[in-house]
Amino acid sequence: MLLGEHLSVGANIGLIGTLGAGKTHLLKAVATACGVPADEVVSPTFVLCREYHGNRDLFHIDAYRIADDDEFLQLGPEEWFDADALTFVEWSDRVAACMPPDRLDIRITVRDGDARTFELLPLGQDCEAAVAVIAQKMR
């Protein structure tokens, strides 16, 4: 999975999409590329954050049940955002003001049947460089 290979350690990724769009499924693919067994990756909806350890560490945060920015900030997200890990936040659009300015937002749109569109929106130089490499490899 190109995301797992080309995102810098410490990258922060916002996952945006409707229920069932495939946010956790995408993270399973990245986690597998990082040496984490896919069956270990489950939605953190009820625990808010899960950690996965492989050849790269991942944090998997779910903001779906977060009421507002203050509640999210009380969780201490700066520890996740500053870690030497890939930090994924599902429903990041709900806490957009709390997200680091240098990040990659991935918008997942459901199309007909099982089809999905993935839009990579890099914010900041590190993520822009990673997305440029990914786009080049996909050509």
Provide the pairing of β-strand 86-90 with 49-53.
unpaired
Range of the domain at 62: 2-121+130-138
Task: Express each pLDDT in 51-88 by its tens digit.
Answer: 999 999 999 999 999 999 999 999 999 999 999 999 99
Calculate what percentage of the chain has a pLDDT beyond 70: 99
Tell me how far apart the alpha carbons of residues 34 and 26 are, in angstroms, rounded to a whole number. Answer: 13
* Alpha helices (runs of H) in the chain, residue ranges in sequence order: 2-6, 23-33, 69-74, 77-81, 125-138
For the entire predicted model, the pTM comes to: 0.92
pLDDT score at 28: 92
CATH of the domain at 59: 3.40.50.300
- What are the structure tokens assigned to 114, written together? 């099982």
Total structural domains within the chain? 1
| 122 φψ region: left (φ > 0), alpha (ψ -120 to 50), beta (else) | beta
Average pLDDT, the chain: 91
